A and B are shown apart, each in its own frame.
Chain A
Amino acid sequence: MTAYHVAQLNIGYPRATLDDPVMAGFVADLARLNALADAAPGFVWRLQGEGEQDATSLRPFGPELMLNMSVWTSVEALRAYVYRSAHLDSLRRRHEWFSHDGLDRYLVLWWVPAGTLPTVDEAWQRLELLRERGPGPDAFTLREPFPTPDEYASGK
């Protein structure tokens, strides 16, 4: 078992309210995609509103900005879910439902000690770090991942 898990934050502006027909495809598929994530190899945790099945009601970063946040055992596990599962179809359609105008960066990954869960405040700080410095050991992306702190310190 590795000493670290990878956390991810993904943000975006919905193009309409969730009850608008524009968002119908996203809303209709949400429960299935969350169930897919929950059962995916390497899944650890995802952010959910209190008493809710997902994070769609949460707006910690402003009234217009939605988020999802999750923890996985490895970057490979997260990649497999994102790119090699039925989630891919939703990923392909994301621009129909979400805008990232003005966000600069909207997806960030970082390592957390296994057994701990990230807070939304920490997640925002990691995103800011990515915006300021680009991908690095403390805040990175799927396209430019970094090794765990242990591996990084040992030069792997």
Chain B
Amino acid sequence: VSDELWAIARDIIDANLYMILGTADRDGAPWVSPVYFASADYTRFYWTSTLDATHSRNLAERPGLSIVIFDSQVPPYHGRAVYLSAIGVELDGDELDEGLAVYPGPRPGATSLTREDVTAPAPYRLYRATASEHSILCPREPRQPCPLHGIAVDHRTPVHPSNNDISS
């Protein structure tokens, strides 16, 4: 069962181009932002933003992130989503090298970046969220209990990346 649940999470991550970042400022005021992302191994998620974007400024204050990835085009009651708890950082040095090998990924219209694109004096930076927890909406048919727990309302269930998806 855990492999099947993880496969659902992986499919959602693979099928979607944007994730929603949830950040908060120094005082705890929340802010959400959609960003185009690329994932190295379903645990590290990369995106670019300007330094002065609200979520970038928030991350500089509070590195804790919540993230959701979902398809907004599915019919009502068929929603599927992956939720992540993560730590976000602006990348430099070796970590920036690794990020540039992943972002923006092999997607149509995506243009590769250089270090100059995301280091001073450029306004953009490459960021990485490293997920510590993954969960998904527990799959169930509309108005039916989920086979896994027998629960007939929306709820999340934790999922764990397979070893094969986290590698060198």
- A, B co-complexed: yes
B97-A103 in contact (CB<8A): no
Instruction: Determine the chain B residues whose CB is within 8 A of the CB of A101 once the complex forms.
Output: 164
Cα A91 to Cα B163 in complex, Å, equals 21
Known: A89-B112, A92-B106, A92-B112. A104 touches B164 (CB 8 A): yes
A-B Cβ contacts below 8 A, count: 42
A92-B168 in contact (CB<8A): no
Known: A89-B112, A93-B106. A100 touches B164 (CB 8 A): yes
Number of interface residues of B (CB under 8 A): 12
| Interface presence of A32 (CB below 8 A) | no
Instruction: Determine the chain B residues whose CB is within 8 A of the CB of A82 once the complex forms.
Output: 97, 101
| Interface presence of A133 (CB below 8 A) | no
A109 to chain B, nearest CB (A): 9
Instruction: Determine the chain B residues whose CB is within 8 A of the CB of A107 once the complex forms.
Output: 167-168
Which B residues between 146 and 168 are near A, CB-CB below 8 angstroms? 163-164, 167-168
Quick one: CB contact mask for A100-140 with B, threshold 8 Å, 1 for yes?
Answer: 11111111100000000000000000000000000000000
Question: Which of B94, B97, B163 makes the CB contact (< 8 A) with A104?
Answer: B163
| Interface presence of A31 (CB below 8 A) | no
| Interface presence of A141 (CB below 8 A) | yes
Q: Which residues of A contact B (CB under 8 A)?
A: 79, 82-84, 88-89, 91-93, 95-96, 100-108, 141-143
